[in-house]
Amino acid sequence: MILMNLTHECTGLQLIERERERQFRDALDTLDSNREMARQVAGSIRRTGQVLLLGMGASHHANLVATAALRALGIEAFAMPLSEALYVPLPERPRTVLLTSQSGGSVEAERYLHLGRQGEDYFGLTLNPDSLLACAVPCLVAAGGSEQGFAATRSYLLTLALHSTIAKALGDAQEDFRAVVKAAMSPDVTAAVDHLRLARSFVFSARGGLQGVAEVGALGILELAHVPAFALEGGQLRHGPMEAVKADLGMIFLRDAAHRELIDSLIRACQEAGVVPVVLDVSGEAPQPGRITISAGRHQGLAAAAALCEPLQKLLLAVAGQRVERVGEPVRSSKVTRTE
């Protein structure tokens, strides 16, 4: 049984593509419509001195990107899965808590709101203005309404946009983020898709904030292509998992200028094992031999993550299309998770 409401007119893939077609327009609208609430969040962060970002799935992965951006501003920021915060909570203390849920209705978000923890300022980030989350706490709300496609595409970019408004309110100009969204570049991924055709499993790896994009890449392969995929931060990849590198493992690296030497070291290790990795690159450097590079300009922070959304989504959908007949139509999951 397909645990998702699909219209008679649209397949799961068509629903996803409809989301993708408008994600950049909605992102621009999101940047312009959340300034006042972003200022309130920024004021709370300055007052409490710490911000905790909580979410599940792709919402958590977007929070990882934002956490790195906030730390770059000198802010004490942490990201945790909501499920972890429920069962292994941090000690109570004054802090700002950002509850991120694209649907605004995940079971974990609902349960966390009922804990009544002392000293925490609650704010939400969501796509659904009518959700439980939006009704319960002050929220930044992305433009365009809830996402209908199964995999997080538009919702991931819009969550990054919401985080960008908070970063701007905290003093980061975020001009590059707006420029990336306005440009809506779509790099070619054909060579990478062809190369990964025979891969039986996948590893995504990055350093810094881009690890949050690597995480959503692995999630997308699992959800859409139905094959094993892992997201391993570059340092963690070094500590043992390199033993699994072989010809039928699809290695995908996300590379920016700040961490290019560390990523290049891992790429060389893969090449020595006879594997040609795919590199999603926002370093601005020319492609190098021995790898398949998807270039998306030169960006850092939240803007780098935004620049990689479109090529990553294209790559995931094409890889899934090689392996699954009905892409985007889940059989064991639902768009909004209401069961722990």
Q: Where are the beta strands (DSSP E) in 229-335?
A: 229-231, 249-256, 278-282, 292-295
The answer to whether residues 100 and 125 touch, using CB atoms and an 8 Å cutoff, is yes
- Tokens (6 digits) for 175: 């001009």
Query: Domain boundaries in the chain?
Result: 12-183, 190-321
- Look up the pTM and report it: 0.95
Confidence of residue 105 (pLDDT cuts 50, 70, 90): confident
Give the model confidence (pLDDT) of 20-44 as tens digits.
999 999 999 999 999 999 999 999 9
- C-alpha 83/C-alpha 96 separation (Å) is 18
| Structure confidence by residue, pLDDT tens digits, 260-303 | 999 999 999 999 999 999 999 999 999 999 999 999 999 999 99
Superfamily of domain 190-321 in CATH is: Glucose-6-phosphate isomerase like protein; domain 1 (3.40.50.10490)
Second-level CATH architecture of 12-183:
3-Layer(aba) Sandwich (3.40)
- Please write the tens of the pLDDT for every residue from 136-188: 999 999 999 999 999 999 999 999 999 999 999 999 989 999 999 999 999 99
Which tokens in the block code for residue 23?
A: 């994600």
